Structures are given as C-alpha cells and as structure tokens.
Chains A and B, each alone.
Chain A
Amino acid sequence: MNQVATALGVAFAVAGVGALAGLVVPARVRSAAAGAATTGVGLAGAAAGLCAVSGTSWQVHLPNLLPLAGVSLAVDALAGWFLLLVGGVAAVVGVYTVGYAGQSGHGPASRTALAMLPVFVAAMLLVPAAGSVSTFLLAWELMAVTSLLLVLSEHRHSPAVRTAGLWYAAMTQAGFVVILLGQAWLAAAAGGESFATIRAAGPGLSPVVSGGVFLLCVTGFASKAGAVPLHPWLPRAHAEAPSNVSALMSAAMVKLGVYGIVRVGFDLLGGGQRWWWLLLGALGVVSALYGILQAAVATDLKRLLAFSTSENIGLILLGLAAAGLWAEAGQPAVAGVALAAALLHAANHAGFKSLLFCGAGSVLKATGTRDLDELGGLSRRMPATTALVTVGALGAAALPPGNGFVSEWLLLQALLHQAPGGGTVMIVAAPVAVAVVALTAGVGVATYVKALGTGFLARPRSTAAGRAVESPRSMLAGMGLAATVCIGLAVVPGVAAPALDRIATGLRAGSAPLPSSGVDVRLSGVASTISPLWIAVGVVGLTVGFAALARAVGRARRRAAPWDCGDGPLTARMEYTATSFAEPLQRVFDNVLAPEQDVDVTHPAESAYLVRAVQYRRRLPDRIEARLYRPLIAAVEKVGRAARVLATGSVHRYLAYMLTALVAVLVAGVIR
C-alpha cells in the first residue's frame, strides 16, 4: 500500500479517536488525551507530507463515500509541502495543549474545544489532499466550521470573543462563497470537477473565464490568508482565540490560503496573464506594509503577532507574484527561485509563529495579561520561555542567523534579479517591491525588539507580571520542538531544496531553483550564494569566544544601581513602555496609521497657567476597517431594516409573494 495513503489513513483514524476521547474521557485527562491525539494526527500528516515531497504521489477516488460527486484525494509534491507544514505545526501544538488547556475542564479544556482540535487538524490535512473541487470545498468548509468553534472556546469569558467569532464567521463564509463561485465556474468551464481534468483544460480556457476564476479564487483565498484589506477578522480571532488555537490558525490555517492561490493560479490555470500577478503583488505590498506598521504600534502581544502574520502573508504573496511574473516573462529559473522563496517563507513562518503564539499563550497564562505595557521582567521569572521566544523572534525579525532571514534573502534575490523579458513593468515594480520588503524587514526588527524588550526584559510593570511563574513542562516541550525546527531551518535550509525543486518543476512555473544546494544555498539562474551554517557558526562561535576571552583575562563583574540622575532609585513606572517605544515610528507613519489622541489638561481654579492634571489617551483604530467595513456593515444593516417592510407578518402577503414568484419563474421559463 502507498505510504502516503497509510499515513493519511492513520491521521484521519487518530483524529476520529481523538475527537471521541475529547468527548467522553473525564476532565482530568481530557487535555492530555486530546493533545496526544492532535500530535498523533500531526505526526501522521507530516509523515504523509514527507513521503509526498520525496516523490511518492498518490490519488484515489471513493465514489461511494459521499453522494453525487464522491470523494477524491490526490497528493503531489505541492500538497505534500503543505501537509508537512500543517502536520508539523499540529504536532507542536498538540504537545503544548496538554499543559496549556490544563485540567480545569472549561475554556480551552472544554469538551467541544478539545474534541474539535484533532478534527480541525484533520480538516486542514484534507484541504491540500483534496483532488477535486467538491472534496476541496467540503474540506475547506469543515476547516472553517471547526476553527470557528475553537475560536469561540472562551465565549463565556468576554464579549470580545463573541465579536471576534462573529467577524470570523461572517468573513470566512463570505470567502467560502467567493471560492465556491470561482471553483464552480472553473469546473463548469473545464468540463469536469476533478483537478486532473481541470489541469488539462486550464491553460486552454478563454482569458475572460480564467481571469474571472483567478480573481474570485484569489479574493477568497486571500481573505483566509489574512491579506490586507481582507484581514479584519484576523487580529480579532487570533487575539481572542485560546493561544494553542491561535498558533494553529496563524501558523497553519492561513497558509492554506496560500496553498489555494498556488494550486489554482499555477497548477490548475497553469500560470496566467501579467495583470493577475501584478494585482497579487499589489495585495502583497499592501499587506506587508500595513500589517507590519500595525504590528509596530500594537501593545497587545497577540494582536502584534496577528498583524505580523498579515505582514508575512504579504511577503509570501509578493514571492508568488514575482514567480508568476517571471514565469510569464519566460524566465523559469528566476520564477522557480521566487516560488521557492514564497514556499520556504511559508514554512519558516509556520515555525516561528507557532513558537511565538505558544509563547504569548504562556505569558497570558502566567500573568493574565497580553498588554505589553503591563509586562516586563519575565526573563527572570520565566527564563526558558524567554529563551524560546527569543529564537522565534530572531526568525520573525528576519535577522541572521534566524530562519526568516534565509527566505527573505531568497525573496530579495528573486526580486533583485533584472532578467531580460521583464519589460518596463518589472523595471518599476521590482525596485518598489524590494523597497517594500526592506522597509517591512526594518520595521519588523523594531517590532520584535519592542515585543521582546518591553515584554520580557527590564523590570515588571505590574504586580501580575512580577508574580509570573514558569510554564509547565509540556508547554515548554511543545515550544522546544518548534524552536528546534526553527533552528534547523535556519542553519541547514538546504534540506528543503530537493522538495522545493520537485514542486517547482511539477508546477511547470519554474525550473528547479536550488539544484546544487547543500550546506550553502545555491540558486540556479542567479549568481548569489548564502551559507547559513557558516554565518550561524561565525556569529555564535565569535560571541562565545569573545565572552570566554573577556571572562578569562578581564576583571570580575560588579553590580551597581543604574544611573538615576541623582534622584533616588528608579521605579518601574519610569521605564520605557511598548507604547513609548513605538511612539517615534507612530509619528513617522502618522498619515498611514491616523492615531486618535486626546490630551486633557485641567487647571486649578486660581490660574490657567498652572496645571493640576494632564490626561492623555491614544487609540489606534484599524483604519481600513473603519473606512471600508464600517460603511459596508452600516449599509447592510440599512438594507435589512428596509426589507423589514416586506415582512409584516401577514399570511396573505406571503401567499401573494409566493404566487408572484411562481408566475415570474413560469414566465421566465416560457420566454426562454
């Protein structure tokens, strides 16, 4: 029997058992059982993915499993990459969940939440494994519904959770409808609903059909991926969901939006016209910039991470857009590099973001707050968590020797390359894209310095932060697993080269991008080389060497009070907070962020020149949400209110409506 089939079969079976266990076992061992099952599903899924990216493909059609279309599954190298990604994240989150959900029996440890967790992972594995439009849509909807239930785990806890659930439900369903329309149109035009049929017919479709399908699908997938301006659900859902669910959603689920774009754009439609990819690139640019700017000024740790997800999705979309443009310009080598950059960045982001969301969960559990302005001093209270989060932040900030750096380097190589055939569009678009990637990287570094520096270092800014205790072992183990993967991807990214080569050649979009990579990453078609292993060895080796030398020959270290300008000991209130750290950036990007600030000065009765109290308030609303979605929601509400006039409760009226509708249908049928 095919290895992929065996592994996937095991994954789905374990998911079923896990869901059952989550429902029936007592609260004391429930999270352990469900966590173990989630890890099992993840490991089996990752094994299936590993077989698939190593060259084992598998497909099956089960006509009797469901009525009408049946179920068909098809796993190729591309699907394998995402199976591996989802499975890896699930394995990490499963271990983490055991400690995070705990034994309380409610919230993230409730029956529904824990039973849904393995099912959600199984649904996410089913999405890339789907081999036909109907199976894909079914898996997509299953993933949406299970994730919605998980987001709502703590709905008793705060009204913000319910609002987040509503936003997520509305946007994910709207996205589903758009994808449904697009894929149904595609299947109808191609004359069959299996991906194999569509793939054969795809390149021959008329430009109107393929362009329309691409637009619809990209809209739906980008909303799932959290690309700006289709993102408002993301900072809400990621912030309000339990942290293990946030990690699964941000690290794995949003990547399936990327998978959808690659599958439809490159595979089923077989590449396309220039405007598709320019549009996708514009989406990527806006997401990257807006996402990172919002993250830079966010003070809620999980909201910061959520907006950083939008940013990273923007970078991935930029890579896909570059791949499409170079493929269209007849440069398969560079297109392959761009595609590899996008896919590798997806994997890297899955690694560091699962780690960071788990870290945020540990902080939330230990202190009860996500507000960076109230945190601090955790490096002494929670040293292991701080060390693990540092690994994640290094990757997320895209600094060498972190894992994010390698994929951003690849992305820059694909964008920096000026090959013939690009034309004027590439001459202008490529530098703009490079500048956007650079600004994003720069602000990203500032963002993660803020998150790490004010959240974990310095002194605690609240009593809750001062009383934090280190997380239980299973949470640290889950995060340690993710950190190991991050370090592996950072030091020897060459291990992914064969898989990326296989995917790029399989998609016909590009030739093998990294054919001769080992320890060094060598590109085909671009003459640059990077050796992440040597960079890491150099940085770590020199640091350790200098530290040892200084300790050996220098004088001993002494502790003393910091400089307080002679005004007595400094208190925690005098520290820089996250808000004050981000203030210069907020001021520089004032026009984009449009903060709302109020300064109220109260004067004593005697004189208006004296000040009794100053009150300062600052809000940073999501401007796109306020300008784009609020009017839309208001309009929908208005239409809904207006439509009430039609439904007065009179039975006669309803009968008249039905008669009118029947007559209209009959007339329409006759005329046709």
Chain B
Amino acid sequence: MSAWVAACVQAGLVAAVAPLLVGFMRAVRARLEGRAGGRLVQPWRDLRKLLRKEPITPTGAGVVFTAAPVVLMATSVLVAAAAPYLSTRGPLSGAADLIVVVGLLLLGTVALALAGLETGTAFGGMGASREMTIAALVEPTLLLSVFALSTRVGSTDLGAIVAAGATDPAAVFTPASALAAAALAIAVLAEAGRLPVDNPATHLELTMVHEAMVLEYAGRDLALVEWASAMRLSIMLGLLANLFIPWGVAGSLHPAALALAAGVFVVKLTVLAGLLAAGEVFLAKLRLFRIPELLAGSFVLGLLAVITSAVLA
C-alpha cells in the first residue's frame, strides 16, 4: 500500500517540479544572454492561465485531436509514477522496465503526431512527419544504451539497475557507462525536443518540429500539452540522473528516506537542467537533415558502450 502512496507522491512531485524546472532553464539562459528573464514560477502562471481558458477544436478535427493531450499526460504521469526517482521499490515492477518506459513515452509522441495529422493543416502534418522521423531514429540509441546498462545487472528493470549502481559504485564508473551516458544524453535531447535537435522557443515555419505539431491547440488542451512536455523533460533528465548518479535514491519506503530522496532528486534535476540550459546558449539548431548524422553519432557511442561493457566484463 505504501508503495502506491510513494508512487503517487513521486508523480505529484514530478508534475509540480517540471514547470519550475522549465522556468529555471529559461532563467539560466536569460541570465547568460544578459537578459533579465521571467520569474521561476512563470511557467506555472502560464499553465494556470491556459487551464482556465476554453479549448478550441479546429473544424474537421475529431476525437483524436481532443484525446491526444490527455493520452500524452496519462503516459507522462504513468512513467513519472513508475520510474525509480525516489525509491527503487515501486509498486509496479512490471511497468518500471526501461523498454516499457521508452514505449510509453513513444506512445505519447504518437498521440500528438496523430493529432497533428488530424487537424488537416500543413503545419500539423509537417510537425508530425518530422517528429516521427526523429523518434524513429532515436529509438536504436535509446535501446542500445538500455543494453549497455542492463548487461551489468542482467535485467532491464529500472529499479534493479539503480539499486545495483547505488550499492556498487565501481560498476557505475566504467568506460562503458560513460559512453552509454553520452549516447543517452544525445537521445534525451532529441526526445525532449531541445537544441540542437529542436528549438522549443521557435515558431518559425521552417524550423518548427514539436511546436508545428501542437500549433492548433489552445486553452486547456495547450496547458496539458505544455505541462506534459515539461514533465517529459523532467522524466528524462531524472532517468539520466538516476541511472548514472544512482546515489540518494531510497532503498526503502520510509517517509524520512523518501523526503531526503526527493531533496536529492530535485538537486540532481536542477544541476542537469542548469547544465543543459547553459549548453543551449552556445548551440544553434541543426538542419533537419543533419540530425540523422548527430543521431548516428550517438548510435555509434551506444554500440561502443555495449561492446565495451561485454569485452571489459
């Protein structure tokens, strides 16, 4: 029972922290660019405003369009509840599997892509097409990193991987681990739609990917999409943090341990997000057809990680 409560707390924490993290990244970026920037809670204020507004469905669009934001939110919440952010002992051991997490996140992407096509506009189709192309090419890197991480534990269960890393630091600081971290980091950038793959701040026709897909959303629907997207970023940064820096994750479900783990988790997220935001200042968006080269590079890193882990084991 307490495992379920812990999972709900964890999902709530991710949902609450995610918009703040976006605000923090914008603040870091603004400061580095010499601007004043918005407040930390600005994304939350935006969400509150949007949630109160009426949702608008374009004429001709049907149930897929209205269902997509909810599906996106549902998959994000499910992953946020199941993944080992606070404790390695979740209630759903069968859903905290790395492959399942990848699949659930992809399901959310697919829902949005179908909604983009459903609007019947050129923007929606363009965004959907680009997003699916990138998602298809990210998949091999993601699963190869999974492979590199799972071989040392013999399981793709996220809780098991994190728990094994926390008890045996020597297994974390290996060449294979470093290569896998690099590969996974690039994959996370692509999945979360960050620079240099996609620019979340752009609304320029030629360069939009994610924003083109969700262009028709307004009001409550848009709030759900934005919130879920922020959660996905936190989910992926959190995975990156806990897989490669597995300390500070509670091994039990004691409230004090969970509270401590929550603090550590937020610190980890903040550091990673700060680094990402600082890095983005120095990056330009890649041309769409140069992205496969970047992803091929991360794929090679992933392959090297797997072979290194097998050879050095």
- Contacts from A to B (Cβ < 8 Å): 376, 379-380, 397-400, 405, 409, 412-413, 416-418, 427-428, 430-432, 434-435, 437-439, 441-443, 445-446, 449-450, 452-454, 457-459, 520-521, 526-532, 534-535, 538-539, 542-543, 545-547, 550, 554-564, 570, 572, 574-576, 580-585, 587-588
Contact = CB atoms under 8 A, between A and B. Distances in A.
B126 interface: yes
A460 B285 CA distance: 35
A618 to B, nearest CB: 16
Given A520-B94, A534-B92, A562 B121 contact: yes
A559 B104 contact: no
Interface of B: 51-64, 66-67, 70-71, 73-75, 77-78, 82, 92-95, 97, 99-100, 103-104, 106-107, 110, 113-114, 116-126, 128-130, 132-133, 135-140, 142-144, 146-147, 150-151, 153-157, 160, 215-216, 219-220, 224, 288-289, 292, 299, 302-303, 306-307, 310-311, 313
Contacts of A457: 62, 64, 114, 117-118
B129 A539 contact: no
A585 B128 CA distance: 12
B57 A379 contact: no
The 4 closest A-B CB pairs, nearest first, are A576-B125, A531-B94, A442-B139, A453-B117
Contacts of B71: 539, 543
A530 B97 CA distance: 7
Contact of A576 (B78, B117, B289): B117
B143 A543 contact: no
B136 A446 contact: yes
Given A409-B100, A542-B78, A584 B129 contact: yes
Contacts of B57: 557-560
A585 B134 CA distance: 9
A562 B216 contact: yes
Contacts of B136: 439, 442-443, 445-446, 585
Contact of B55 (A558, A561, A580, A582): A558
Contact of A530 (B52, B94, B106, B118): B94
A580 B119 contact: no
Given A416-B151, A430-B147, A562-B59, 18 more contacts: A400-B100, A435-B140, A435-B302, A439-B137, A442-B135, A443-B136, A449-B132, A453-B116, A526-B154, A528-B97, A528-B156, A534-B94, A547-B70, A556-B54, A557-B57, A558-B54, A564-B121, A576-B128
Which of A442, A546, A572, A574 gathers the greatest number of chain B CB atoms within 10 Å?
A442
Nearest to A397: B110
B126 A576 contact: yes
A379 B64 contact: yes
Nearest to A417: B154
A62 to B, nearest CB: 48
Contacts of A416: 146-147, 150-151, 156
A557 B56 contact: yes
Nearest to A520: B94
Among A416, A418, A427, A545, the one with the most B-chain Cβ atoms within 10 Å of its Cβ is A416
Contact of B125 (A399, A438, A581): A581
B155 A574 contact: no
B140 A438 contact: yes
B106 A445 contact: yes
A563 B123 contact: yes
Contacts of B289: 584, 587-588
A546 B221 CA distance: 11
Contact of A459 (B56, B60, B82, B103): B60
Given A400-B100, A400-B107, A446-B136, A588 B95 contact: no
Given A531-B94, A576-B122, A576-B126, A427 B62 contact: no
Contact of B128 (A526, A531, A543, A581): A581
A311 to B, nearest CB: 13
B139 A438 contact: yes
Contact of A557 (B55, B143, B150, B154): B55
Contacts of A430: 147
B110 A445 contact: yes
Nearest to B148: A431
Contacts of B52: 555
